[in-house]
Structure 1
Amino acid sequence: MIDEPWTPDDELRAAAALLSAAEPSRRAAGYDRLAARTAPGKDALRAWAVDTVLPRVEREPGGPALAALVDVLGAAQDERALPVLLELAGHPDGEVRLAVAKALPFVGEPAQGSPRVRALLALSRDAAPAVRDAAVFGLGTQGEAYGPAVRAALHERLDDEDEEVAEEAVRGLARRQDASVLPRLIDLLETYVEPHPLTLSAAAVLGRPELLPVLAELAAERPEDRRIAAALDACDPARRAERSATAWRLLEELDARRPDLDAALVWDRFSTDLRLEVHHPAEPGGYLLDALLRRAGHEPSRAASLVDADVPPADVPPAA
């Protein structure tokens, strides 16, 4: 059966029709509708959306319409948008620069020194606090560039006159294992009635025992909050050691049961999530370790049996 070629539906066509309206507000509404429908995983729709809006960039002088157009490019996550975003990063309209700062983390290479990162570094020094906030968030939390230029930019923003920008810088540096922000991070955990989820995540990634007292106090106040519990576990050396030992026992159990599986433990640089990756021709995939262990009642042998059941043995080719 041959799949029918993708075509935009009536709602998308109606949104695209608004882009030709004389009133900027109606064009902005059209871009907003396109951005709302454009999402990762919808490749044909994303490509169509970019094809639809890119030719209109030069026709939009600025304001909400151009900012909304940029939102479509960010939602589409299409590399073709990068040159446009880089050019608009210097636009005189702060609303447009804000949209660019929000879109850039999803377009282009995240590596240190890439055009995307250089543009975000420049925007992190923007005159508008909202633009700086979005750029620092893009660099520190959404991005994974790790080099000295990014770290220097985040340190520079620690003393930003805007409190939210400074907080984003603290979180970004904590995610990069910069212990110099420990006092500031503790202050963020103590200051708010309910700490920001990203502050808790940054504390977990930093994983320093100096954070244990404030996290223990938060855990006592909110024993049901898994994010606080996860940060507490990540900062406790004994619990980290126990988690690592359990993970290795699981890997050993799995190797004993299924030597045909190419399994490995993977720990991403900016995350506390430990993943079990299984490379197998029949059923490649992976598991979040903590979720797998919860399913198995925290028994490594039971967890290994669950993976064994999930991944069927590869077919053995017939003898020649």
Structure 2
Amino acid sequence: MSDDAWAPDDDLRAAAALLSAADPARRAAGYGRLAARAAPGEDALRAWAVDAVLGRAGREPGGAALAALVEVLEAAQDARALPVLLELAGHPDEAVRLAVAKALPFVGEPVPDSPRVRALLTLCRDGAPRVRDAAVFSVGSLDEAYSPAVRAALHERLDDEDAEVAEEAVRGLANRQDASVLPRLVDLLEAYVEPHPLTLSAAAVLGRPELLPVLAELAAERPDDRRITAALESCDPERREELAARAWQLLEELSARRPDLDAALAWPRFSTRLYLELRHGSAPVVYHADGLLSRTGRDPSRAAAAVDADLPPVDLPPAA
């Protein structure tokens, strides 16, 4: 169904009807149902959900209902919600500030000195530990903005009295290639019987050989844990060099074989994965470079041939 033909179904209309209930618990339930539908919803559904709740933010006094309203805005990921979220970032209700700290990374662009990022940095210093925890996670692991102010805020939280907040700060700085947190990251890897998945991800993104000994010990204890193996491989300089060399050879061979695909390599921030990005006709196509090489015997020529076979030439209409 196209967006032009889209209309709310009975469940959505029933959820919206709850928003006018006198009981705040019923309103919270209505917002919760809208958030659940908006999160995986199509663009028209998300826009409708934002239209349904945006004007109500000023009328909700706080508590669970207003926090649930913010969750709808987070799920919809609509830029129109940003002014409301910025205003609610200083709300006296902790539950509301917590919801805002979780929602802000999903509304607006990760521009370092934007009002959105400044609001998150303020929430990183919130008096409530769980709000700080959510804000530092948002800044460190969800948001890609980086600036001296972001770095200073994350470093400040390394000494937070709440251990979980400090851990989020370590991960956020590791994600940004700040090698000064290496000792703290090693401590986190050693501190738990099973390291947090985000700590392993941060170790993989940082990709430093100093992490190899502790990761090797973890791998020996848990040889089937793919997250530990991935971090270990990412921190191995020889393996990283080999992947980069093979991926570059793949790119060169594919560009010579199929210049129409406009091939390029991309290594997204906060990711350990190197991607091969292509354009097949007017459609973008993305391969995980290491996965492509693995299934073709780590032979760049075979990998290029596989892509060539996957994507036959497309006849484009002549330019007007």
Q: Which runs of 5+ in 2 are unaligned?
A: none
Structure 1 runs of 4+ aligned residues shifted over 4 Å read 1-4
Q: Which amino acid aligns with 2:144?
A: E
Give the alignment of 1:32-51 within 5 angstroms. 32-39=32-39, 42-51=42-51
Matched residue, 2:79: 79
Deviates more, 1:299-308 or 1:92-101: 299-308
- Structure 1 position 30 matched with structure 2 position 11: no
Give the alignment of 1:81-230 within 5 angstroms. 81-230=81-230
Identity %: 78
**Residues 252-290 of structure 1: CA deviation (Å, up to 9, x unaligned):** 221332233311111123211101011342543111112
CA contact (8 A) 1:282 1:313 kept: no
Q: Which amino acid aligns with 1:53?
A: V
- The secondary structure found in structure 1 opposite 2:259 is coil
Pair 99,110 (structure 1): closer, same or farther in 2 beyond 3 Å: same
Q: Which amino acid aligns with 1:155?
A: H
Counterpart Cα distance in 2 of 1:2 and 1:241: 46
Matched residue, 2:238: 238
Q: Which amino acid aligns with 1:56?
A: R
CA contact (8 A) 1:283 1:311 kept: no
Counterpart Cα distance in 1 of 2:135 and 2:2: 44
Q: Which amino acid aligns with 1:297?
A: G
- The secondary structure found in structure 1 opposite 2:5 is coil
Pair 220,55 (structure 1): closer, same or farther in 2 beyond 3 Å: same
CA contact (8 A) 1:31 1:69 kept: yes
Counterpart Cα distance in 2 of 1:213 and 1:191: 15
CA contact (8 A) 1:189 1:214 kept: yes
Counterpart Cα distance in 1 of 2:247 and 2:2: 45
CA contact (8 A) 2:281 2:316 kept: no
Report deviation, 1:316: 7.3
Pair 128,2 (structure 1): closer, same or farther in 2 beyond 3 Å: closer
Matched residue, 1:12: 12
Counterpart Cα distance in 2 of 1:26 and 1:261: 53
Report deviation, 1:3: 7.6
Counterpart Cα distance in 1 of 2:3 and 2:243: 47
Q: Which amino acid aligns with 1:66?
A: L
TM (norm. structure 1) is: 0.95
**Residues 209-251 of structure 1: CA deviation (Å, up to 9, x unaligned):** 1100000111111112221111111111111111111111211
CA contact (8 A) 2:189 2:214 kept: yes
Counterpart Cα distance in 2 of 1:241 and 1:41: 41
Deviates more, 1:62-71 or 1:275-284: 275-284
Report deviation, 1:292: 1.6
Q: Which amino acid aligns with 1:143?
A: D
- The secondary structure found in structure 2 opposite 1:187 is helix
Pair 2,214 (structure 1): closer, same or farther in 2 beyond 3 Å: closer
Counterpart Cα distance in 1 of 2:56 and 2:316: 56
Matched residue, 1:294: 294
- Structure 1 position 310 matched with structure 2 position 316: no
Counterpart Cα distance in 2 of 1:131 and 1:219: 34
Q: Which amino acid aligns with 2:46?
A: R
CA contact (8 A) 2:17 2:30 kept: yes
Q: Which amino acid aligns with 2:67?
A: A
Counterpart Cα distance in 2 of 1:185 and 1:256: 43
CA contact (8 A) 1:275 1:286 kept: yes
Counterpart Cα distance in 1 of 2:148 and 2:162: 23
CA contact (8 A) 2:3 2:44 kept: no
- The secondary structure found in structure 2 opposite 1:195 is coil
